[in-house]
């Protein structure tokens, strides 16, 4: 049975439950980046009438698809901040469509400044690459197979690293003197300088560990050392996966293996196919949920010969070959693999698994791995965090302290002084 917010239960939250983690879609022009973004943010037919939030022009709401705990627990849920369709919980998260990238963006070329300002806000990146090799380094069309897509990967790495180098190098000598003569900590100084880039303290510590550079003697670092450090900082603070797009083209298969040799997580994609399937589902022509390995035609009589053939091509060249169009997989991988996020289900009543209005499993939160019970309480409401007493594992009914580290799929009830009062 299909159930979820389209039964009238949905309300509009202030922000998606994955708020706090932002994924950017990046790539050069003409690789299908915008098609990927449009497909990813076109809500499935069942929840399309219930937009979760109003987004700026280059921002949109996509959905993480996870197996809902409702079937494991044997309950009929009533989602509020998300949707549940055939046992799949669809949780809204925000994506940002970054401006098309061209070489020397870090110098301000093209839309470089806008691109880098958008990348600055992202916690992780999905790099949409033309795996067919039919666009050159500037994004101009060329003969399929003529361009090496691995070049696009290396060029994006360099652009972001060089941009970060310029920020770090600013007043480097002055910063070095403060560290070496006044005892200021380099990690703290860089954390302050890079706070607007979504760079955290642990990213800086990790980059220092990987390079082995001495944080107490930054004046001894060469330009090469500084570049190496910044490159490692980019990897730690802007983790990236590759969406190998246009996999329906013959030249893409060979390049897929070469892209995997870059060391990145690579997801075979066909954004055009995903967009076509979502639009067909929107019109009620097919049954399709993002991430499905196939679709079901619902209204054969309403399909013209060209539409019928187009759907068969998608089935043969994309779904049968790769198991999905890759768009949903890329979004899920960005949050769960790159950012290490987990899904938890806060409830008020641990016995009935509901909120104060009796709605079962109303919310699904996507939180960073390592989040504690008390931190979850703060995410729900500041007052709940401040008056936290303990949490309850709704499965085992065991009491959990404030430092309990949440696990994926946890169903948690927060007990607070306010709640007791």
Q: Greater confidence, 320 or 139? A: 320
One domain for residues 118 and 262: yes
One domain for residues 130 and 225: no
- The number of folded domains in the chain is 3
For the CA atoms of 47, 51, 52, 57, what is the dihedral angle to 10 degrees?
A: 130
**SS3 helix, strand, coil % of the chain, rounded to 5?**
40, 20, 40
Give CA–CA dist 39/325, Å, rounded.
11
One domain for residues 22 and 163: no
Question: 5-14, 171-180, 332-341, 373-382: which range is least confident on average?
Answer: 5-14
pTM: 0.89
> What pLDDT score does 419 carry?
58
> What pLDDT score does 339 carry?
96
> What pLDDT score does 44 carry?
66
pLDDT digits 0-9 by tens, 163-222 = 899 889 988 999 999 999 999 999 999 999 998 888 999 999 999 999 999 999 999 999
Per-residue pLDDT averaged across 318-342, rounded?
97
DSSP strands (E only) in 206-334: 240-245, 265-268, 286-287, 296-297
One domain for residues 249 and 202: no
| Residue 33, domain CATH | 3.40.50.300
Per-residue pLDDT averaged across 62-71, rounded?
96
Which residues are CB-contacts of 117 (< 8 A; sequence separation ≥ 6)? none
| Domain limit, last residue, from 337, 364, 392 | 337
pLDDT digits 0-9 by tens, 266-281 = 999 999 999 999 999 9
> What pLDDT score does 45 carry?
56
> What pLDDT score does 18 carry?
57
> What pLDDT score does 215 carry?
96
Contact 283, 298 (CB under 8 A): no
One domain for residues 123 and 21: yes
Q: Is the pLDDT score of 11 beyond 50?
A: no
| Residue 359, domain CATH | 3.10.20.30
One domain for residues 249 and 376: no
Per-residue pLDDT averaged across 99-109, rounded?
69
Q: Residue 110 — very low, low, confident or very high, per pLDDT cuts 50/70/90?
A: low
Per-residue pLDDT averaged across 374-399, rounded?
95
| Residue 221, domain CATH | 1.10.8.470
Q: Is the pLDDT score of 375 beyond 50?
A: yes
Q: Taking the CB of residue 8, how many other CB atoms lie within 10 A of it?
A: 7
Give CA–CA dist 277/300, Å, rounded.
15
Q: Residue 10 — very low, low, confident or very high, per pLDDT cuts 50/70/90?
A: very low
One domain for residues 193 and 47: no
Give CA–CA dist 203/234, Å, rounded.
9
Buried b (16+ CB within 10 A) or exposed e, 295-308: bebeeeeebeeeee
Q: Is the pLDDT score of 8 beyond 50?
A: no
Q: Is the pLDDT score of 252 beyond 50?
A: yes
> What pLDDT score does 58 carry?
81
> What pLDDT score does 51 carry?
38
One domain for residues 22 and 62: yes
Give CA–CA dist 329/337, Å, rounded.
11
Ramachandran bin of 272, using left for φ above 0, alpha for ψ from -120 to 50, beta for the remaining angles: alpha
| Domain limit, last residue, from 309, 337, 365 | 337
One domain for residues 72 and 99: yes
Q: Greater confidence, 34 or 103? A: 34
Q: Is the pLDDT score of 311 beyond 50?
A: yes
One domain for residues 245 and 217: no
Which residues are CB-contacts of 182 (< 8 A; sequence separation ≥ 6)? none
Residue 198: domain span:
158-234
Give CA–CA dist 244/329, Å, rounded.
12
> What pLDDT score does 52 carry?
42
Question: 34-43, 55-64, 215-224, 305-314: which range is least confident on average?
Answer: 55-64
Per-residue pLDDT averaged across 363-373, rounded?
95
Q: Is the pLDDT score of 417 beyond 80?
A: yes
Q: Would you state the structure tokens that stand for residue 52, as one six-digit string? A: 């979760």
> What pLDDT score does 1 carry?
32
One domain for residues 331 and 393: no
Give CA–CA dist 132/253, Å, rounded.
8
pLDDT digits 0-9 by tens, 114-139 = 667 788 889 999 999 999 999 998 88
Give CA–CA dist 309/315, Å, rounded.
10
Q: Would you state the structure tokens that stand for residue 132, as one six-digit string? A: 């067919």
> What pLDDT score does 326 carry?
98
Q: Is the pLDDT score of 141 beyond 60?
A: yes
pLDDT digits 0-9 by tens, 23-53 = 999 998 889 998 999 999 986 655 544 434 3
> What pLDDT score does 90 carry?
95
Nearest residue to 83 via CA among 68, 71, 95, 94: 68
Per-residue pLDDT averaged across 97-114, rounded?
67
Give the CA diameter of the chain: 79
Q: Residue 5 — very low, low, confident or very high, per pLDDT cuts 50/70/90?
A: very low
One domain for residues 167 and 316: no
Per-residue pLDDT averaged across 15-25, rounded?
74
| Domain limit, last residue, from 234, 255, 288 | 234
> What pLDDT score does 6 carry?
26
Give CA–CA dist 346/356, Å, rounded.
12
């Amino acid at each position: 049975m299909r159930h979820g917010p389209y039964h009238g239960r949905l309300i509009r939250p202030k922000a998606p439950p994955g708020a706090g983690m932002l994924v950017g879609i990046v790539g050069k022009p003409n690789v299908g980046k915008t098609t990927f973004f449009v497909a990813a943010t076109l809500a499935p037919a069942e929840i399309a009438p219930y937009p979760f939030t109003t987004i700026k022009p280059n921002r949109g709401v996509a959905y993480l698809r996870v197996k809902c705990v409702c079937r494991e627990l044997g309950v009929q849920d009533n989602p509020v901040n998300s949707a549940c369709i055939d046992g799949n919980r669809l949780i809204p998260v925000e994506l940002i469509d970054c401006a098309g990238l061209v070489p020397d963006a870090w110098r301000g070329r093209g839309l470089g400044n806008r691109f880098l300002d958008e990348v600055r806000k992202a916690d992780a990146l999905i790099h949409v690459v033309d795996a067919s090799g039919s666009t050159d380094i500037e994004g101009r069309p060329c003969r399929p197979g003529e361009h090496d897509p691995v070049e696009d990967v290396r060029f994006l790495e360099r652009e972001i690293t060089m941009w970060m180098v310029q920020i770090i190098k600013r007043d480097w000598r002055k910063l070095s003197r403060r560290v070496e003569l006044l005892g200021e900590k380099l990690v703290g100084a860089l954390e302050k300088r890079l706070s607007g880039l979504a760079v955290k303290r642990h990213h800086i510590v990790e980059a220092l560990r990987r390079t082995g550079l001495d944080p107490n003697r930054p004046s001894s670092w060469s330009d090469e050392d500084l570049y190496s450090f910044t490159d490692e900082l980019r990897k730690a603070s802007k983790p990236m996966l590759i969406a190998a797009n246009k996999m329906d083209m013959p030249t893409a298969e060979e390049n897929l293996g070469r892209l995997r040799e870059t060391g990145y997580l690579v997801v075979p994609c066909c954004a055009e196919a995903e967009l076509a399937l979502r639009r067909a589902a929107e019109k009620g022509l097919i049954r399709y949920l993002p991430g499905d390995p196939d679709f079901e035609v619902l209204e054969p009589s309403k399909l013209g010969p060209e539409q019928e053939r187009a759907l068969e091509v998608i089935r043969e060249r994309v779904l049968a070959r790769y198991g999905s169009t890759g768009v949903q997989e890329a979004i899920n991988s960005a949050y769960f693999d790159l950012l290490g996020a987990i899904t938890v289900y806060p409830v008020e009543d641990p016995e009935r698994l509901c909120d104060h209005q009796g709605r079962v499993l109303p919310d699904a939160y996507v939180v960073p791995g390592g989040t504690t019970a008390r931190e979850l309480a703060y995410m729900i409401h500041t007052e709940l965090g401040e008056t936290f007493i303990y949490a309850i594992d709704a499965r085992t009914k065991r009491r959990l302290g404030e430092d309990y580290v949440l696990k994926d799929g946890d169903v948690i009830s927060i007990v607070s002084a306010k709640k007791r009062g």
